[in-house]
Structure 1
Amino acid sequence: MSGLIAIGTVVRPQGRVGEVRVLPLTDDPRRFAELEGCYLMPPDQGEYRAIEGCRFQGRMPVVKLEGCDSIAAAEGVVGRLLGIPLAECRSLPPGRFYAFELVGCEVLTPEGARLGRIDDVWESPAHDLWVVRGAGREVLVPAVSAIVESVDLAARRVVVRPPEGLLQL
């Protein structure tokens, strides 16, 4: 199966019956309770597992995966990502997008100067940082409205107005 997006990371076993604690990589951790199954990643193709149960401890989902019936089995999936097909991603309002959709987009200034391509998106407490690589260097561009002028996912193009000095860092 290709086209998977990670929505959580298995961080440790929970209890004695094979449940695992999951660090959510989604804005809505309650989503885990709605899933019938997910894919253990890597490998990129993933290995499908039904979700037999889900409960929460605070914001952390505690998930019972098919085939995980012991502490040893749960320990065997620690560190793996839980993924869903891209087609199952929830629709976002206009003007909003998923971070993974930005990777590979060309980054330009309003004057048309090419800065590079978005190689990665880092989350920070204040805002995301876009890792833009091009011309043999890397620039971190804050994803804030004062800098980002437009995002055109169909054209795979982002226009930014970097403040003075940002490109020299």
Structure 2
Amino acid sequence: MTEWLEIGKIVAAQGVKGEVRVLPNSDFADRFLEPGKRWLRRTGETEPVAVELLEGRYLSNKGLYVVKLEGVDDRSAAEDLRSSVLLVPETDRPPLSEDEYHILDLIGLPVINRLTGETLGDITDIITAANDLLVVNTPNKEILIPFVKEIVPLVDIKNRRLEIVPTPGLLELN
């Protein structure tokens, strides 16, 4: 059974020629710009189907991609894809540089305060911004941790551990 990586969610139709707007869940633009095979999982279905991505472009003012999929030729067909997700096989992970991580590898990692040894909680999401923010679910609340080397000196995917050195007041601010 193939494991899948979600690369984006179709959020709307674009125009009348069957293009769709995709909210990316990947930092790799070529997944939306380069023609080739992708997989589409429609809302309510469990198994994706192969689909050919014909072309794409980036809407920088919206933070979305507009893509044309083979066989989706009018607005009605594009609207039928709303809330569907685009996928690639898990084996299609691009290589990363040092200090780069796949979001899915970070989700679920326990976050440990290096100063106290206390486990604060697990990462549940990443908010992408000028500096990414780790969303950490603690027993009492959800906290946001800036994902910068000074605060997060250790990310050990292999041993499933992420350590932070919180700046004064960081944990109280949340």
Quickly name the TM-score band, shorter chain normalised.
Answer: 0.7 to 0.9
In structure 2, the residue matched to 1:113 is 118
- 1:52 and 1:118, CA in 2 relative to 1: closer, same or farther beyond 3 A? closer
Q: Which of 146, 160, 167 pairs up with 1:163?
A: 167
Residues 133-157 of structure 1: per-residue CA shift (max 9 Å, x gap): 2232222111011100100001110
For 2:73 and 2:12, locate their aligned partners in 1 and report how far apart those are by CA, in whole Å: 14
Is the counterpart of residue 76 in structure 1 residue 80 in structure 2? Answer: yes
Residues 48-89 of structure 1: per-residue CA shift (max 9 Å, x gap): 232151142655544332442332111111232212122112
- 1:42 and 1:94, CA in 2 relative to 1: closer, same or farther beyond 3 A? farther
For 2:101 and 2:170, locate their aligned partners in 1 and report how far apart those are by CA, in whole Å: 24
Q: Would you say the 8 A contact 2:59–2:66 is kept in 1?
A: no
Give the TM-score taking structure 2 as reference length.
Answer: 0.81
In structure 2, the residue matched to 1:147 is 151
When the two chains are superposed, the root-mean-square deviation of aligned CA atoms in Å is: 2.4
**Paired-residue identity, %:** 34
For 2:117 and 2:45, locate their aligned partners in 1 and report how far apart those are by CA, in whole Å: 36
In structure 1, the residue matched to 2:52 is 51
For 1:47 and 1:157, locate their aligned partners in 2 and report how far apart those are by CA, in whole Å: 32
Flag structure 2 segments of 5+ consecutive residues without an equivalent: none
For 1:23 and 1:132, locate their aligned partners in 2 and report how far apart those are by CA, in whole Å: 23
For 1:158 and 1:52, locate their aligned partners in 2 and report how far apart those are by CA, in whole Å: 36
Deviates more, 1:129-138 or 1:139-148: 129-138
For 2:12 and 2:164, locate their aligned partners in 1 and report how far apart those are by CA, in whole Å: 40
Flag structure 1 segments of 5+ consecutive residues without an equivalent: none
How many matched pairs? 168
For 1:129 and 1:64, locate their aligned partners in 2 and report how far apart those are by CA, in whole Å: 32
In structure 1, the residue matched to 2:20 is 20
For 1:90 and 1:72, locate their aligned partners in 2 and report how far apart those are by CA, in whole Å: 34
Deviation of 1:93 after TM superposition, in Å, equals 1.6
**For residue 141 of structure 2, what is the amino acid of its counterpart?**
R
For 1:145 and 1:23, locate their aligned partners in 2 and report how far apart those are by CA, in whole Å: 28
Is the counterpart of residue 85 in structure 1 residue 89 in structure 2? Answer: yes
For 1:25 and 1:53, locate their aligned partners in 2 and report how far apart those are by CA, in whole Å: 19
- 1:90 and 1:45, CA in 2 relative to 1: closer, same or farther beyond 3 A? farther
